[in-house]
Structure formats: C-alpha cells, structure tokens
Structure 1
C-alpha cells in the first residue's frame, strides 16, 4: 500500500486485484475525488481506511492525518488540486473504536481485500488519476471478502531500551483467535532512514551498539488459515537515551472479581516528567479509566469482565523546563491479572428469526448464516415460554399441541475456535395458534362497467369466522373497496380485478387468500 507516512515502520500486505467503476459528475468549484467501498453483495463497507496519494520527492505520499475511514455509506470525499496526479487506495485494516457507536470496538467478522485504483497491488504500481479542473470524480470499488476478521491487541514493548538489555513484545494473550500464529520483525530508525534489523524476528530482541541512539519498534503479524492477516506496530522509543526511571515497579493490587476495585500503582520518577496509566480488558482499551500524572489509578471490575485479562499499561517520560516531552525518554511497564469467573456470552451480531407458519403440525426453522466462520459450532434450543422444550435441539422444530397459545422461540449459540466467548441470539417469540379449516374463494358476476362483482368465501371454519375484503385493481388496493361486493367503474377499464380476503378467528392463525383475476373490457 506504500508509506502511509514518511517514517512509519510498517510493511503492509500485497493488495488484491479488484473490479472498479469510475463516474464523473460536474460540479462548480474546486475538484474533488470521492470513493465508495462495497462488498460483493453491493453493501457499503464502513470503517475502511482510504488515502489519496501524490508524488513528493520521487515517492508516493499519502495524507498524514487520520484515521481516514469510510462513512456508513462506504464513502469518502476529499479536495484535490486540478492537474495533479493522484493514486487512490482502500485498505480494510482498521481496528479501533467504532465511531458510529463510540462505545464498542470495530471487529467485523469478515474482512475484505485491499486495493489501489484501479486494480493494482500497491500504490507504486497503481494507475495515476489526474484531477480535472472542477467537479467530483467518484471511484466505486467492489472489495471481495479475503477472510475472517481477527480481534487484535496493540503490541506493547517492555524493557529498558538500553544496549544489552532485552525488549519483549507483550499483549498477545488477549488476541483472538487465540490459536493465531505470531511473527515478529524489529525495526530501527535513525532520523534519516529506517529498515528491518537483520535477525530480529522474535518476540524478544536485545539491542546492540548498532541500535544505540536509534528509535526501535516491533511489528507483529498474526496469521491463521481462513483469516485475513493482521499487522500492527508497537510504540517506538530510543535506545540508549536518558529514560524516566521508576522508583518502584508497576503493580496491580486488589481482588480481580466483579464488584471489586483494582488499583495500579508505581513509583514516580524523581526527575521532572509525565505519566499515563491506561487500562485494558482482554486487550480492549478502557479510555474512561485512563489516569495521567498520578502514581495510582483505580479500575472497577464488572460482571461483564468475568474471566477476562485486565491489564494496566504505563508510559512515563521526562520533560524539559517548559514541560515539553524529551525525545526518546519514555519508560514502559505493564501489569496484568485475570478476573475471577467465566467470560459471559456475547450477543450474536446477526439477528435471529424463524421461518414457517406458527400452527400445530407445521415446522419452524431457525436461520442459517448466523456466522461466517465455517469451523464454528452452532447449537439450537427451542423454548416454549421461558422453558426449554426437551429434545428440541435442531434447526427445525415441528409444533405440537402443547405449544398451542404459547410463545415459541429458538435460542442459537455459536462457538468459534480460538474465541473465548459464546455468541447467543434468540428469535422473537411467536404465539402458536390452531389452523383454520381450508375454504374456497370465488368471484361471481361479469367484469363490465356498472356491473356488480360478488366475493364468495365459503368453507372456512370452524364457524364463526370473520372475513375481511379488499378489492384490487392490477394488484393494488382500491380505496374504500372493502365489502363483499364491488361495482365495476370506468377507471377499471382494461385492468384486472381481484379480491383479497383475510379470514380470522380468535386463537386461530389468520389466512389470506386472493381470487383469480377478472379482466375488464375496454
């Protein structure tokens, strides 16, 4: 995908070949480019990274701000300079706060391929698009699915950042799926050039004199067959610089159980500086609990955190006389505990509904496609009211006399390999009713203007039943034509007339039937 900034030490995966379409629309004012990301079903893809690159110093440089994400319509729009050449890219690799909710993190079950316009595998090999004098050019791209999506955790490096002292990447215990394979590459940057450190491909790396005075970062790649790989970078820090020195290590005290409060504490450095303490639950940041400038931070454990890994991450750095950050002076530490109990179930992201007529003898069917994971285990439990129906544990359930007048629903549970939680969804309740005796529907009379047509609904039972009528003209309801008889009008010439009846009876399933059409002559 090229360099998202000049100095980011991340190598992105090769980008996939994708179909595209480009449509230009005239508009007054400066030129703009818009992009739309769609999945294979034509649905918009939100929270997809986008960028518009231009050449600078012989390389393609993107917008250095962000995150640059598509909106709910899968769209972005950006101003460009007329006559300048640009390259446009999408990357479905955002993992972070879902800005639509601002309360959850963006971990979609399916991830899609990345691409640069129109069908390139990298920004370097993409086609250049030259901005016109004005108007908006829209590029629509279809991104086929590449694999399942992971729930990653930002890598965190702990250690002294000194020559001869080991540095270690931590945080992988919160990564899902838990059976992903991790690989590592450490990078060094000296202010002018960056590159991978030869042989530095483990979770632990010990800097040598070659890295003294350089910034160091670890890139972690997680992969698993069937999943889209994830590449994330750790924080960076300078080897051999003057670092903040804690006077006592970071620790977590308290009982890690629902309803209890944990406390993270450490000894503040004696030199002037600043500190940030952040809390994470199974790798997901808890920003409301972040504490700055204090040697202690408290965190309330809830029942939703049962069984989870709870960690505190500390960043402490030195400041100058004007309270400015001193480059490379950071010290990092982490403490982790596991909350008591078992991780609770999570709601299915797919709505659960049933299909079939809710009447005795008929079959209700649970939905398919509740998960995209082919290795997931799906189980079913049918409920009558609030009680389980013994033995009703398949996707299909034949309704019984015992179900009459009772609400029936199905609970679907999904368990995925490498994911701690079970995912559960329950369908809306459907009240089971008796079946009406099947009747007949006919229309008597001639379909001519001025003549009367009569609907005859017979045989429905057991009696008494209530019959409602609606006359139709070419399949559409005719206003106020809701009686058993209908007088043909001039407006009906050349059309087809029908009647639709709805037969109801208390505690019985309503039945709707439509008659054969009668053609009205012109």
Structure 2
C-alpha cells in the first residue's frame, strides 16, 4: 500500500466534474464521523497519476483527500500518509462511497510546485463536481498535472574580478529556489546588451572604460516559466600598464653618448635618465651625452609609455659603470729662480687640455717628495744644497683620469746674507717698550734672534724682539744684537747703535669708574681700571665736588644725605721710577634706594566665606606696607587690609594681592603676588535634620533643619524607604496610606550663591503605623412602621462607610444600606445602626448610633406575604369583599385569607369593617 500524508496547509481548490445522476446517488449517503469530526474510512479505493510541470512522473508527492459533508469539504483522516511512487502513481484504499476532492503537493520544502487539484486545477472542485467513489472504486482516475512554482532568485548574481580594461570579469548565477536550472547570460554596457557577450566571463575593452558593465542571468527549466536576475554593475577603470622592454647602446665613457633602443611598435614615450638612481635634471630625451659628473657612476633610463585603456607602464635599462676621460695635452713644468740656499724658486705648469683642469704641484728633492712643498713657489733650504731639486705637476678633472709630468732638475749652492745696521725704536723711559728693527737682509725669509744690552752688558733673559724698560734701566743706554739665520745661508750678527739715557716713566691710567647701584642704601665701589705699571692707590669720595669725611676707602655705602646729589671718586696712584698720577671719575647722580622684596604669598583656604592673608615676606630694608586685593587682576573695592574674606563674587576667580612698601630715602615698591587657583565654592556647616511628629498615617511630620552656617536657602525632599516622594518638598509632610509600614526620612538641601550645595539627610523614622479614623453615627427619621430611617455618619475625609442595622441588638439580615425602611418585624422593637469606616492606611473603626424608641404598631397592615397570616401585633383579619373582620379563635379565622390586618377592633371598625358573627 502507498504511504499516506495528512494535508499540511489549505490552498486553492480545483474541481472534478461528475454526472448529476451519480451525484444524486451519493448525496443519499451520509458519511460517518469520528469524535474529532474527521470522516471515518472504509474499504474502497481511488487512484491516479501525478506529473510535474515538465510532464514527468512526480515521485514522492503527498496526496490529500477531502470529502463533501453537508455541502462543504471536510478533510479525510487517512490511516497512513499517501505519496506517489517513482512512476507518479498513487492509490488510496479504504474510502467509503461518496464524493471526494483530491489534491497533490510536494511533501518537503523547498516546493517545486504548488498544491494542485485534480484535474490539474487551481481551486478545489465545487461540491457536486468532485471524484465519486461507488461500490469501492472511483468512476474515473484522479490524475493531476502539478502547477509550477515561479522561478525566483533567492540571492542575486554577482560580478567578480577586477573591473579594469583587459581583466576577466565573471558572473555567478546567484541562488534560486529550484534545482536543475539551466542558465544563460547577457553582459551589458550602461544597461544596453553587448553584442556577442553571452558567456559567463567577459573581458572589458577600451570601449568599456568609465562605463558600467553589468550582467543579466536568465534561468530556465523545462515546464517552468523562465526568470531573470541582474548583478550589480561595475564601473570599468583603466587596466594595468602593457609591459615592454628597452635597452641602451653606446660607450659608457666620459665624452661619449648613450642612446635608448625602443620597441618598433611603441608609440610616444617619456624619458628620464638617472645617475646612480638619482634623476638627472634636464636629461629627458632618448640620447644622453656622458659628462664629467657621470664618471664612476651607473647611468639608467626610465621609459614611460601609455596604451589606450591602460595605465602607464615604465620600463628601465642601465649602462655599465662610466669610465673616466683622458687628457690630450700634458705640458712639462718649467722652474725659474736662483739656485742658492734661501732663494725662492717658482714653477709654470703650462696649459692642460681639455680645460679646465686642476693642476697640483709637488716639489721633489733627489726625486723624493718634499713634505708640505705643494705651492707654486719653493724656498731652497740647507737640505737642498748640492741636491737635485725638481717639481711634479699632476692634472685632474672630474670624470677624467689624472696625469702627471716632472720638470728638469737643478742643483742648489750655499747662500750668504747682506744687511743694513739694525736700529732701536720706542720711547726711552721706564715702562716704555723698545723694539729691535733688523733692517733689510738678503736673502729674505731669515729668522732673527735678539740679545739686549744695558751699557754694553747683556740683560738676562732679554732675548725677544722687544724689551720693556724697567727701573733698573733708569739713566742707562740700551743696545740690541740681531742675529739672522736661514736654512742654506751662512749665519750673521750685527749690533745696533746705543739709545739715549733712560728717563723716569709716566704712569698710564684711565679715569676711575664707579661700579654698583648708585642708590641710597647700596654699596658702590671705585674701579681704578688698569694702570700701567701697577700702582698703589688712595681714594677720596666726594658729594657735589666736596670731600665726604671719612670716605677714603675703595667702597662707599650711600646714605639718605647723598640722594639727588652728584657722587665722584678721586684715585691717586704711585709706582717706583714713575711720576705719581691722580685721576677723577665722572659724576653720577645718587638715586633713591630700592627695596629688595620677595613676591608676596597668600595663605588661607581659597573658598568663598574663608579668610585669606597676605604674607609680604622679608623686605630689605624693612618697610611699611600697604595692601590692595585683586580679583582676576582687577581691584576689589575696599579690600585694603592684610586679610580678605572671600565673597560669592570671587567664586571661580583668581585672587592676588599687591603689597606696597615705603621707607624714607627709598622709592616705594609695589609687588604683586601670583594669582591663586580659582576660588572654590564655600562649604556649609550644618547638622543633620531631625523629624518631629506622630508616625501614623494622616499625621503631619515636620523637618527640623537646625542651624546652618552661613545661613542658607533651604529645600526639602521627603523620602519613603529611601525613594523620593513625588511632590513632598515642604518642611512638613502629611503621612499618606502609601507610607504605611515604611520608614520616612527627609533631605534638607542648602543653597547660597558662591557655596557648594549641601544635602543633609535625617535618620529614618520607625515604621509608619496605621492612622486612626474619626467616626460618629446617629439615626435620622421617624422610627414608625413604613418609615425610612437614615444613618448619618461624620468621618475622616475619604473614609469608606458600611452600614449594619440592628433590631433589639440583633443584626437585621440584609439591612446593610445607609437607609432602612421600618417593617412589621420591627414593631415593638428598638433599632440602631452600626457604621463601619475604612480607609487605606487607617485602622478600621465602627461607631454605633443610639437606639430608637420601640417602633409603635400601626392601626392597619397587610398579611404576611405568602401566607394567610397576619402579624402578631395586628392579629385581626379583615375580608375586603365582605367588609367583615375575624378575631383569633373564631370559626372562620384560620380559613380567612385576609386583605387587611388590624391591631384592634376599633381600628377595624374605623376602617368600615364589621365583626364576624361566628
């Protein structure tokens, strides 16, 4: 037997038509149902073939069956799921005779078709047009051709690859809701199809540069309608540069030329030559003339060319190391001059080609280099006497090989001096310096030594070219012996003529100066300057040209008497063998003294309300002080004491103080302290608040804030078990029902301009207890039969009241309203009411009214409802139809159903009734 599956979900139906006669026969049969309303199955069967949208057998498709019940389709509960086999066939057994609607749909998702009804319809058949089963089999097979689900792309195609000219792009097919799909592709350029571009890959050309290339994928499957999906387009950029190769021809030598060899099909190109990797300015052509700067370097070239649709490509090539050039003219150097010791030889190096060339010379002795002899001239020395002297010329030029040539040799002989008599110059007096003048000696270049003599006797250690006359020379005559020496020349000595007798010296000295600050209280010093020779000094200080008594030292302390006067000093100097010299300084006006003062400081806490103090520090000399306080550098009016109390105006400002010192003879001095850090807000001193009042609902609590220093503006916030109570912001708080069982606290917040806000919290109270209601009760109205009594209560606002009426102290059943109608049961009884008050957060309270007087009986009433009885207090029965009343114990009393009951015969008679006779 094939497998069976219950219907999974409702869809549209397709009808199956049967004849009216067959339908009429089916309608006489009523299907039987189980407890759940599903038709019970029997033995007969129904079968068919199911094909997919491509008309191929649909295997493993689920079959559902509905039957017609009272004009509507009801699902048939099949014993087992029904599925098609490999041929698409299915069979259902055990169906009772009747009319059925048969449908097929995929058993598992994703579905490739939708639910379809036999014969291949969209909607279920109308009742009467279904498949009819008679005598255990259907009149016809229920074949179904499944309707296809539309092809849908569940994820879009995508283009992968670099979107540049020459690079391959490929498109994915994306994901679709069905399998077994065949795809075709059409590539587009700016939305238009590209002719022939129908493969999965596409290589953009220059026609695509800067344009958007996209792809549309078409999905198809036999039996299904085709569908398309497009990939997002990509903008095509330039492709990578097209490679090419270049090379260099020519000889890499200074003076030569190099040329770039390009591919024959290469278009326009740009060139840049490099020397050892560094671009050579201006060398941007295919040919390169090798210059001096290129010697020893490697030359390379970068060639850049661009192919349409592609970025530029640069190819490089390099030469070998550039060789140096060769000189074409190398003349031999020529030496001129006298070949004797002490004489100077010169050399001419000639003209070297190519020019310009740098030519260096080196003098040689017997073919060996003479150290340091590299100038164009050379003085012959003792070492050169009888030696072979020559000179070598070496030419160099950037990029060229160096070259050398050597002159012919010469042989030098020993030289001799010729000279004039030396002389002595200078003033012939003690302290002056004499100078030896050797005169003209040949050959030149001699080195001289000297010996000075006093009256013909050698002066010890006087061997310099100059001699300073001393006190020992006073009255003597001086001479000097000059000796000349030069390598390669015979040494010679000559004595000068004698000087006149040496006279006393003259002291040389500048005017003295006064150093130091010329102000009262300061020390000044006389500076004699440099005296020649050194002397012994005496001093005299003067005020306006008059000697100051006792002021004879090199230093002087200026006093208040000197202020605004002219100060000078006279220095007298004396030395042995010298004339005494006196020198006076220039005059200087004595200024007022100045204080030496530190920068004042400020002590104290920098906060509003606190006192700060100016600390002047140690002034020299001591002074009298004045003070001025500043806020952000601006004067604070009236703040002229050594202390200052910070105010709210100072908040966040920087405070400083100016200290001014004064003293006789001194200029006043004002010194400003550094600014403080910004003044902080002041802080309050305050106790924690306390709470007074009864801790019961309905009672008022009061916050006691205590004394705040300084006085502050206070705000209040009441809290219930730590949570702020909305709107409770006064100093008092009336306890509400919500506070019952909680603990109450209060926060007091103090504010004042310039001060940090301070929040102080009280301790929590004990738990809040229920409140006590106020309640009284009384009765209004007349306590008479048929009358209405009202309970009148006076209670705390918001109290909910309930009522209970009592008769002679016993509760009256059902009497719980505010009013009570006095009834027959109340006659002779006393009534009262108990009022009970309740309110959230309060203890329930009851109040009883006073009792009424006993309710008097009325003259007439009616019978007790539902009975033939009169109340005990009105026992006389009245019969309205006969207008007769009956007394208890009379013959017809118990058989009389009274229309009226009377409390007395007089009442009955008054009502017009007459007494029964029996």
TM-score, with structure 2 as normaliser: 0.17
Higher Cα Rg, which structure:
2
Q: Which is bigger in relative contact order (C-alpha 8 A, separation at least 6)? A: 1
